Amino acid sequence: MIAVRDLTFAYPHGGFALNIPTLTVDAGERVGVIGPSGTGKTTLLNLVAGLVQANIGQITVAGHDLSALDEASRRRFRATHVGFIFQNFALVDYLTAFENILYPYRVGLGLRLDAEARDRAHALAKACGVAHRLKSHPQALSGGEQQRVAICRALVTQPQLILADEATGNLDPETKEAILDLLFARASEMGATVLAVTHDHDLLPRFDRVIDFATLRQPT
Ligand code: ADP
Ligand code: MG
């Protein structure tokens, strides 16, 4: 599902550079990534999602060589293959929770917003415990509720790859477990791969494999 080889990335105006010699994630695998903040975990997820592009090296996701795709093609790839749960949720302020869950259909080329998609949005909201908040806007939701809405949005398109950046960070311990159960159950149903950055060491035993980011990254 993911194959990274000799990847180098640097932000245009920043001093930070990331070098990943190799990373392979199999289809259906659930991989957790741990590591101190500021070391490039979010940057790696952004690279895998095609939100940013590597300067050097190769990154292939679901058979697509992301280094060879222009921005429009990467956007299309992302819409049809990737569900991304952002560290800061990245919900759209002027949309309701329900509209936020269906947001991928507003921007996603090749995605059709039909009755099935709406039904999936409702079912996910119910399973995530936010069905009663669907008419609210993000600013009226608690942090945990925003997080659940962000999780629903990442799952609604039934992506092959789920990228989660601290997806359970704002939840209490019991809810964390429940949300991760839900995420994994949906991933299993869809045969999806999960790559999740987490600081929750309690949750690590649930992953098939845990990668320490320090061992993945080559010091620059
Ligand atoms: P982590 O997720 O492990 O905390 P990040 O990938 O968010 O780390 O950030 C890694 C480094 O890149 C940090 O030093 C951060 O300040 C820097 N960085 C993140 N985004 C940008 C950006 N858009 N431009 C320049 N530097 C950035
Ligand atoms: Mg981060």
Task: Tell me which residue has its CA closest to atom 5 in ligand 1.
Answer: 40
Task: Tell me which residue has its CA closest to atom 17 in ligand 1.
Answer: 16
> Which of 161, 159, 3, 1 has its CA nearest to residue 67?
3
| CB 161, CB 83: distance < 8 Å | yes
CA of 43 from ligand 1 middle (Å) equals 6
Say yes or no to pLDDT of 220 above 70: no
Does pTM surpass 0.85? yes
- Residue 176: pLDDT band (50, 70, 90) is confident
> Which of 162, 208, 150, 155 has its CA nearest to residue 62?
162
For 53, the token pair is 């592009």
**Domain 2-216, architecture per CATH:** 3-Layer(aba) Sandwich (3.40)
HSE, CB side, 13 Å, CA atoms: give it for residue 34: 12
In short, whether 38's Cβ falls inside 6 Å of ligand 1 is yes
| CB 194, CB 45: distance < 8 Å | no
The whole-number pLDDT of residue 42 equals: 95
In short, whether 11's Cβ falls inside 6 Å of ligand 1 is yes
CA of 41 from ligand 1 middle (Å) equals 8
22 sits in which H/E element: strand 17-25
Starting from the edge strand earliest in sequence, which strands make up the sheet with 64-65, in order? 17-25, 2-10, 56-61, 64-65
- Residue 179: pLDDT band (50, 70, 90) is confident
Helix axes 115-127, 143-155, angle to 10 degrees: 140
CA of 208 from ligand 2 middle (Å) equals 21
Q: Which atom of ligand 1 is closest in space to residue 40's alpha carbon?
A: 6
Query: Which pLDDT tens digit goes with each residue over 10-41?
Result: 998 888 999 999 999 999 999 999 999 999 99
Query: Which pLDDT tens digit goes with each residue over 61-100?
Result: 999 999 999 999 999 999 999 999 998 889 999 999 999 9
Task: Tell me which residue has its CA closest to atom 7 in ligand 1.
Answer: 42
Query: Which pLDDT tens digit goes with each residue over 109-152?
Result: 778 999 999 999 999 999 989 999 999 999 999 988 998 999 99
